[in-house]
Structure 1
Amino acid sequence: MWGWIFVFLALALLVYLYFLKRELRKLKEEVKEMPTRASFGSRLSLAFRDKALMELIDEWNQIIDAFEEKNLQAKKIEENVKLSIVGLSHDLRTPLTSIKGYVQLLDATTDQAERARYLSIIESSVKRLIEMTDHFYDLARIETNQKEISLTSVSLPSLVEEIFLSYYEQLEEKNIELHFPEQIMDRQIIADPLMLTRVIQNIVQNIIRYAKSKAVIHYRNEDDYIVFIVKNDIKPDSKVAVEKVFMRFYTEITSRTNTEASGIGLYLSKKLVEKMEGKMDAEINNDWFILQIHLPINRM
């Protein structure tokens, strides 16, 4: 009797080893093909239900998932870099061409008044180039997760007023009236001061370029956020598409001949706000362009 039991166990063991060896050969072939198949939802599987092998397959599949996620992120970054290069070449070409033309005009004239005007235009174009490159640099660092964030308590109204008033001369030159709330309470938020400064600067520059004659600022509380609301009247011939204002490289003037806008400002601002755990929305209501920026309240 014991002999038959021994024979049965030996046969069972041989069958087990046969199926185990077959599954290992199958896994070996699948692993060889992983470099070419992993980016297309490939998963390892087993027909032989062995607990130890199943646990091993689960671990491998988790590695495949992580690989595919990183591969997808790498492709997104690659596409973003391509888009940035294309946008950069378009946006820098116009001011560079302008600078080249005015340098030639400057070289050809001896009239001091004309020379002063050309120099002023060249200086303005150079400043715009610096601003554009700063935008592209910040954007590249955000989209590759290289831009560090340092959250601290910030008085939102104080910072907003300081930055808007620093553009007073440019707003006055464009005949844009600026209206602050009559009563401003000290509203403390949690934000990165440098990032928030860049967001507010971009908003002011957007107003200077596109507002008709007026900009209004106010605040409200909403759950765990302070909502910073900025609205400006829009020009009668405005063609702004509100659903596109946060798209990369979108400008109201889509012919790409606009030397004043790169189409990065609001796109970058939204990215910065989201990195600070906030959100940013836009709408058009009765000929007013309205931005709403939700920023977390400092509860401490």
Structure 2
Amino acid sequence: MWGLVFVFLSLALLFYLFFLKRELRKLKKDIRALPDHSSFGSRLYLDFRTKELLELVDELNEMIDAFEAKNQQTKQMEENVKVSIVGLSHDLRTPLTAMNGYVQLLQTTTDDKKKAHYLPIIEQSIKRLLDMTEHFYDLARIETNQKDLELRSLLFPKLVEEIFLDYYEQFEDKQIEVRFPEQIDSQRIIGDKLMLIRVIQNLVQNILRYAKSKAIISYQSDHQYLILRVENDIKPDSKIAIEKVFMRFYTEVTSRTNTESSGLGLYLSKQIIEKMNGKMEAKLQGEWFVLEMYIPLDRMDV
């Protein structure tokens, strides 16, 4: 009797060890094949199911998911860089071509009036090139997670007003009326001051390029965000595709003839605000372009 039991247990153990060894060989083979055949969502599976093996496979699948997510992120970053380089190189041609042409005219003319006319155009082209390279540098650092934000408590409406006032003469030249709320919101936000300055400057440049005659600044708040609302009327010849305004290198439907903008401004601004745990949205309301920026409130100040 006991002999039969021993034989049965021995056979059961042998079968268990056989299937376990077979499953481990299969698992080893599948793991080796992962680099050649894996795609996002690849998983390891078992035919012979034991608690210990299932726990091991679950751990391995978590590692695979983490690796593939990182790999997918890297591929997306590489694709973003390629798109950015193509778009930037396309947009760099316009100011470079203009600059080259006017430099040649400057070298060949002896007319002082023409020289005085050419020099500001060349200076403007140089400034535009510098702005575009700064945008691209900021964008590259943000998208590759090399830019660490210094988040601190700020009185945001005051910062917005100060930056808009820096552009007072340009608004006057363009005959654009800017309206601020009579009462400045005193709620504080959490953000990176230098990056927020870049964002507000981008918003100002957007108004200067596309506004017809008015821009209205207002604020709202909820339990989580301070909301900056920027509205401007649209020039009659503007053709804004609202679903594309946050795409990199987008300016307008006819924007490839636009010599004033690289199309990185709103895209970069959205990336910065989202990195601060906020969000940015845009919409058209009749003949008005409306942009809303949500920035986290300082909870200690609420």
What is the alpha-carbon distance in structure 2 between the residues aligned to residue 297 and residue 57 of structure 1? 43
Q: Residue 238 of structure 1 aligns with which residue?
A: 238
Q: Is the contact made by 1:43 and 1:61 (CA closer than 8 Å) also made in structure 2?
A: yes
Give the ranges of 4+ consecutive aligned residues of structure 1 lying more than 6 Å apart after TM superposition: none
Q: Residue 107 of structure 2 aligns with which residue?
A: 107
What is the alpha-carbon distance in structure 1 between the residues aligned to residue 59 and residue 223 of structure 2? 42
Q: Is the contact made by 1:90 and 1:256 (CA closer than 8 Å) also made in structure 2?
A: no
State the Cα distance separating 1:40 from its structure 2 match.
4.7
With 254-263 and 235-244 compared, the bigger mean Cα shift is at 254-263
State the Cα distance separating 1:222 from its structure 2 match.
2.3
Q: Is the contact made by 1:155 and 1:188 (CA closer than 8 Å) also made in structure 2?
A: yes
State the Cα distance separating 1:122 from its structure 2 match.
0.7
1:285-296 matched pairs, under 5 angstroms:
285-296=285-296
CA 1:146–1:32 in 2, change beyond 3 Å: closer, same or farther? same
Q: Name the TM-score, length of structure 1 as normaliser.
A: 0.96
| 1:248 maps to amino acid | R
Q: Is the contact made by 1:178 and 1:215 (CA closer than 8 Å) also made in structure 2?
A: yes
CA 1:40–1:213 in 2, change beyond 3 Å: closer, same or farther? closer
State the Cα distance separating 1:92 from its structure 2 match.
0.6
- The SS at the match of 1:239 is coil
1:32-181 matched pairs, under 5 angstroms:
32-181=32-181
- The SS at the match of 1:292 is strand
Give the total of aligned pairs: 300
Q: Are residue 198 (structure 1) and residue 209 (structure 2) matched?
A: no
Q: Is the contact made by 1:94 and 1:257 (CA closer than 8 Å) also made in structure 2?
A: no
Q: Residue 265 of structure 1 aligns with which residue?
A: 265
Q: Residue 229 of structure 1 aligns with which residue?
A: 229
Q: Is the contact made by 2:43 and 2:64 (CA closer than 8 Å) also made in structure 1?
A: yes
State the Cα distance separating 1:207 from its structure 2 match.
0.5
In the alignment, structure 1 segments of 5+ residues that lack a partner are none
State the Cα distance separating 1:298 from its structure 2 match.
1.7
What is the alpha-carbon distance in structure 2 between the residues aligned to residue 159 and residue 255 of structure 1? 30
Query: Identity rate of aligned residues, in percent?
Result: 66
What is the alpha-carbon distance in structure 2 between the residues aligned to residue 299 and residue 254 of structure 1? 43
Q: Is the contact made by 1:39 and 1:71 (CA closer than 8 Å) also made in structure 2?
A: no
1:55-90 per-position Cα deviation (integer Å, ceiling 9, x unaligned): 211111111111111111011111101100111111
What is the alpha-carbon distance in structure 2 between the residues aligned to residue 187 and residue 247 of structure 1? 31
What is the alpha-carbon distance in structure 2 between the residues aligned to residue 54 and residue 296 of structure 1? 43
Q: Residue 14 of structure 1 aligns with which residue?
A: 14
- The SS at the match of 1:256 is helix
1:153-190 per-position Cα deviation (integer Å, ceiling 9, x unaligned): 11112111110011111111111112111222423211
What is the alpha-carbon distance in structure 2 between the residues aligned to residue 216 and residue 40 of structure 1? 46
Supply the RMSD in Å over aligned alpha carbons. 1.3
Q: Is the contact made by 1:176 and 1:214 (CA closer than 8 Å) also made in structure 2?
A: yes
